[in-house]
Structure formats: structure tokens, C-alpha cells
Structure 1
Amino acid sequence: MKLMTLGASALLLASTAVAQADNWTAYTYSSVSTTSAVKGMNRIADRVAEETGGDLEITLHLGKTLQIASADITQAVGDGIVDMAADFFFSGNVPIARVLNLPMLIENDEEWDKAYAAIEPTLVEAFAEQGVVLLGGYRYPEQTIFTTFEINDLADLEGHKIRVTSPEQGHFIEEFGGAPITLSGSEVPTSLERGVIEGVLTASAGGAKNWHEFLPYNYRFAVNYGNSMIIANADAFEALSEESQQALRDIVAEEGPATTAAFLEDEEAQKASQSEAGMTLIEAAEGDAEMAGEQLAPFWEEWAEQNGPDYVTALQTVRDAIGK
């Protein structure tokens, strides 16, 4: 009887240990496993499993493998449909975060770092309102202009249809006489072939990596930056042990910047590769950046005022941080 009791106790302890292990489902908008974005998320999953001794296991699903629309990723995390995600299309759910993506506001890597550090507490609160913990993120290289037509300055955008990924990018295109069109990434190749669009705003290491054969011209004018947020469901995160929470935060804090660095390295490689394949890379015309910055500055203020006092404060926080 005593042996049976000990055996039952051992079995109970073993089953309790198994029950304490957390198995998370993660999702990314990217459907291509070879991108720096997916590689970074896979490193996070691998490291978390190793550094928590298996207490937290994360299974990553690529874009389109789950029934989650790109624009609904943050909501899906908040609702607990998935436990964790990398979300590039978060702005519909957390629109105040778009302050980082306003055209011509942030113009280089140094400004981005200062702006993000200043606005991060605001972003943490905004994502928390969606039932989400903001763990960190990464950004793409500058979004430049890829076209099917010859382009030598911003004036050449007039009359052309350009695919954008945000209302703010759309305003930029309209400012220079173009027609902004919003399409999913999967629609871009056929839309370029059929003339539905005549260009896109993206990075060489971003969309252009897949669409370069349709885009013979690249005007190297930095319109804005695009970034992804790495987020977790608040309830799932709180249910983790303190050790697992800290490990996850620490790993994302390292792998987010590492993903950004990988994108920047890939940007240079893709520029060279695309040029060798026949794409014409045109440097930004002298004076275009200064002119565009002056022309877009009133829009920043309109954007903030139309959205309310919190947005006015957010914009001022970023402008103070970068001295604009």
C-alpha cells in the first residue's frame, strides 16, 4: 500500500510539472520564412524554450496560415486567439502609434531611436488598453519609392497610382499629385502587371525583395519608416512565472534590435542585387527632402489635432526628442 501511495504521489508531481509548462501560439504577418522578420521571431521562440528550460514553448505560425487578417493581429492577441505576435499593421487598433510613421517627421536612424525611446511609455499604455503587453519591436529600413515609370524627383509622382500601407503615406502621395491606393501585399504583383498601380512605397529589403521584377525604378527618397510591434496577450503573460516573463522581455529586447540590424544589412545587399538585375536606383534630388519636410509639417499638426489631445502630446513628445 505504501509503495502504491508513493507511486501515485510521483505520478501526481509529474503531471503537475507538465501542467505548469506553458505552450503559446504566436503569429506573424510575414508569410515568407526567409525574411529577417520571421528569422527574428524564430530566434525568440528558440531562445525562450532554451532559457526557460522548456517552461515556455512558443510555436510560430506564418502569415495566412491562420484565419487572422493582417489588420486584426493586435485584436487577435488581445482576444486571446493567439498568445503572441509580430504586428506590422497595428495602426488600426493602436492609431496613436502612427506618430512614428508620419512622413518626413523621422528622417534617419538616430532620430528614430530618440523618438521611439521618448514615445515608448505612451505606446505601452495604448497597447495595454487593447489587452496586450508591448514587449518590443523592430523596424524596416526607410520606405522609398519604387515605380514602373521613370522618376527623378517628387514632381514625377503627379498623376500616378501608388500603393501605400497607411493613410499617412497616402497623404504624402496626394501632396505631390499622386493617387494613393491601399492593397494587401499579395495583390501587389498582379496589380503592377495590370496597371492598377504604378508604384509602391516600401524598402529594398521589404516588399521590393519580392516585387523587384515589376519595378524598374527606385527613387531613393526616404518617405517614412515602417515598424513592427512584438506583443503578447496580457492574461497569458501575467499567467507566466516571473522568471519566464523576465526571460521573454529580455530576449525580445535583444532580438528586436538584432532584427532591425539584419534588415539594414539586407537592405544594402538587396539594393546591390536589384541594381545588378537591372533596376535603376536614383538618388534623391537636391532640395527634395527640405521641400517635402516643410510641405508636410502642417500635416503633422493637423493629424494630431484631428485625433485629440493625446495625439497632440504624442507628436510634441516626438518633436521634442528629435529637435523639430
Structure 2
Amino acid sequence: MQDVTDLPFWQLLTRYGGADLCVTEYFRVHPDSRLDPDILASITKNPTGRPVVAQMMGNDIPSLVRAAKELEQHPVAAIDLNLGCPVPVVYRKCAGGGLLRDPERVDSILGALREAVTIPFTVKTRIGFDDPSVFEQMLPIYARHSLDLLTVHGRTVKEMYRSEVHYEYIARAVAAMPCPVVANGNVSSVHSAEEVLNLTGARGLMIGRAAIRNPWIFQQIRQHRRSEPIYQPTGREVLEYIQALYEAVCDPQVRETSQVQKMKKYLTYISDGVEPTGQFQHSIRRVITKADFFRICGEYLDHDSPIPHVPLRMATAVGVAAGSANSDEG
């Protein structure tokens, strides 16, 4: 997920089991672009011990081909083209999910990249821009270009993260595509992971927001699929995770109030599992110092009771990934 699942977050996530496969934040690609050094570091310094997919976003064919060839010079398992980002500043530039309004252009981009890329080439898509009926037109395009993997987020771009996920469209992709299909959208617990796999027939899951709230989710899914007891963290363990997250992602050179503001972004995802009334999130939103931030966290989490698995509220974010049963955009 852009500006969230960066190298420090990957380093932290490995302590809790981590995903089977990780996808970088997206490299913004245009005629004047160069590979972002911070995102590139997550490839060259990969702390996960797992394969890494380099994700690109753009619409200029020569630039995308150039960036893909540059990325191939680094230890990446695949090159991925993002056709799913629903952020308005992205889709208004006809990038990410905005490209779904122009199937012919997508066809040309995929053809050029498939010809240029010598390692596995993958695509992350939504089911349409504002109308899922276009998905029936997109599937033959995806099939024609010999993708090695297709990840489908089961909402349109305009639906953002607000609607229910249309898993039937992911099932259609599974039936139509000659390559493996990964399901994405609201995979937030062990039980929803199993349900989505059963509903769609997908070969794997992509998980994003749930990995912020519950970094144990990858381990829990593996345990469930092996019929093992599922690990349930206590409140104190979640508090320790938040403390480790603060140390991992907050730059000591940045003023304290900015660090606290950054942590509030993460707590948007974590707070749902802490208590049901919303009071924890309400209190966290009002703190401005590190001391007050951790005082509030301690009031709600300094205990040894298990934290329940609860669905995420609808919220926005973009992509960490996993393979056999593990990763999501939202």
C-alpha cells in the first residue's frame, strides 16, 4: 500500500510470519521518471526472505517498457502493472484504475510489456471503472497477453472501498483465464479468507489493510489451512506491535507531532479490533504527543485478554501482497 507498506513496515511484518509474496509500493512511471530509490530499496534490501514483485503505474508505453527493463536488473520475481488504483489524482491522469476506461489502450500497453518483459508479468485490476460490465471485455484482453498471474479486486474504481465486494466477478476471471487468479477485497480474517477462496476458486489471496490491523493474519491463515490451532494475540501483544510499529516507521528527525499524526493513519486500521464502541479511535484522534498516544493505547490494550477477529471498517489504502492464501489492497 502506497506510503504504508514500505521497507520499514516489511521489516516489521517479518516478525509475525509475513506474506508468501510481497508487492512493492507502485513505481510512478512517466517520460521523466526514474525508479524511486526508497521503493527500490525494498527490493535491493528485501528483508522478508520471500519473493518480491515490482509494481508499476503509468500509461506511457515507452516509459513503462524502460522502467520494466530497469526493474528486471534487480532481484524481482515479476513485474506487475497496476490497473486498479482508485485514487482520483491517479485515475484522472488515466493511470491505475483510470485505464479501465480505455480497453484499447490497455491492450496496447499489455502487448508492449509482454513482449519486453522476460520474467513473469502480472496485472492487478478492478472489475471496471464505473460499470462492471466492461470486465467481460477486459478478460479476453488479459488472456491474450499470456499473463503469468492476474489479481482481481472485486469492486469498480468508483466504488473505491465503500461497497460490498463482487466476488462473482473474480469467479468469472478464474473460469476465463488461462493463468492463476488471485482474489482481492475485504479479506480481513481467517474465516473471510476461507470464504473468499471457496466463493471464487482463486489460487490465492491479496491482503493489505488487514495486515496493518493484524500482522498475525498470514500466520493465522496458514494455521487454519493446516487445521492447527489459530494464534490469537492478546491486548498487550497488540500494544507491543504498535510500539514496534512506531519505532519502525517514525523518523526520529521528524517532529513528534508529525510522527503521531503518521501513527494515527495506522491506528485507523488497528482500532476496529480493540473495542467495539469507537471510543478508542475517538480518543486517539485527539492526541498530539507521543506520551498521550501511548497512554491512550495502554488504557485500552494493557491486558492479557485475546483481541477478537473483527471485519475492517471501509477505509482507503493501496497494496502489500501474498501468494497461496495471503495478501490484499483492501
TM-score, reference length from structure 2: 0.23
Higher strand share: 1
Larger relative contact order (Cα-Cα within 8 Å, sequence gap ≥ 6): 1
- Of the two, which has the highest radius of gyration? 1
Higher helix share: 1
TM-score, reference length from structure 1: 0.23
